[in-house]
Amino acid sequence: MSDTASMRLLRDGATRRLFLIDRGRRRPVLLPEVAAWLRSALPEAGIEVVASDVLTGHEPGAVVPRRWEEADWIEPPANKQMMREIIVSRLAGRGVEFGAGSRPMPLPVGLDLDYVEPFQSTEQYARMGYTDNAVVARFSNPIEAQREFADESLDFVVAAHVIEHTPNPIGAIVECFRTLRPGGQLVLVVPDKRRTFDKPRELTPLEHLVLDFEQPDRARDFDNYLEFFRLAKRSATVQEDARRAHAEGIDIHYHVWEPASFHRMMQHIVARYAPFRSFEVKPPVDDPSCLEFYMVAVK
């Protein structure tokens, strides 16, 4: 844990909930072992009891994670929250998380982190189910066009349930390669179509994904809308709903994967467009609430 000088442990006097103030964000401390670790890491800080409005004066942040070892990456526990903590546990330095909303990833403490949200509107936040605890996004570029970030300026890029919402996922991953420094990590959490409302859809062929990168086409995007509303949403008015959503630019699950098909896409990306030094795709853990798989690539 770095940069502990500005960290504080605050307890809400009304609810008794404990928070870590980490770079101005209030991060809930939910587990006794995490609280004990923080008290040992911040021996001079103590725990200050404050009024609720003192806490809400700080921006919302992610839950403080447990500490994890390399063995946990190799054989993760059958728990989705723990798996999310594990896949980001090796991040360090300066980076961003895309699309965190009110469910940010449990990143390690002390990171130089900014949040990025391309759809910053009350309507979008309501549609995505974001609560009042939505993180404050400093940047607004989409993951496939990171205009606000220079080449090799980031140590990590994190995006949970975001890659399926871009019509050009290969382009998004290639763009992450551009903005990452050598040794930087890209962490993606991806819905497994076998476990979501996308189950009736066919896996997106690699050829389709390549065309979306090399020859973007709004007409091809419309085909994705038709499939989404017909099979995933089971709409009674498929054409009407697809046409409206396409015209308004409402994001959908454009593409669907399972771990093996995502692995094939990554192999193609590494061979043709973005030579990541390594990558690994981890399957869903054996947890009924786990609807996702995981990918970590190192530049």
Domain boundaries of the chain, sorted by first residue: 1-64, 77-299
What lies within 8 Å, CB to CB, of 210 at 6+ separation is: 170, 268
pLDDT at 124: 64
> What is the percentage of the chain residues whose pLDDT exceeds 90?
87
Residue range 1-64, CATH number? 3.30.2390.20
pLDDT surpassing 60 at residue 1: no
What lies within 8 Å, CB to CB, of 113 at 6+ separation is: 23, 94, 95, 96, 97, 107
The strand pairing partners of 66, in sequence order, are none
pLDDT at 132: 74
Question: pLDDT tens digits for 129-169?
Answer: 676 788 999 999 999 999 999 999 999 999 999 999 999 99
pLDDT surpassing 80 at residue 25: yes
Kindly state the tokens that stand for 202: 């066919």
What mean pLDDT comes out for the span 272-295? 97
Question: pLDDT tens digits for 212-264?
Answer: 999 999 988 999 999 999 999 999 999 999 999 999 988 899 999 999 999 99
Furthest-apart CA pair in the chain: how many Å?
63
Q: Which long-range contacts (CB under 8 A, 24 or more apart) does 261-265 make?
A: 261/203, 261/204, 261/206, 262/190, 262/293, 262/295, 264/206, 265/169, 265/170, 265/206, 265/209
pLDDT at 298: 98
Looking at domain 77-299, does it have CATH number 3.10.20.600? no
Are the C-beta atoms of residues 82 and 67 closer than 8 Å to each other?
Answer: no
What mean pLDDT comes out for the span 202-208? 97
Q: Strands 154-160 and 112-116: what pairing? A: unpaired
pLDDT at 33: 96
pTM, to two decimals: 0.94
What mean pLDDT comes out for the span 98-102? 92
Closest CA to 112 of 92, 136, 94: 94
Q: Which residue has the tokens 């992450």?
A: 176
Q: CA-CA distances (angstroms) from residue 219 to 29, 204, 226, 281?
A: 47, 16, 11, 31
pLDDT at 102: 86
pLDDT surpassing 80 at residue 117: yes
Question: pLDDT tens digits for 55-97?
Answer: 999 999 999 999 999 999 999 999 999 999 999 999 999 999 9
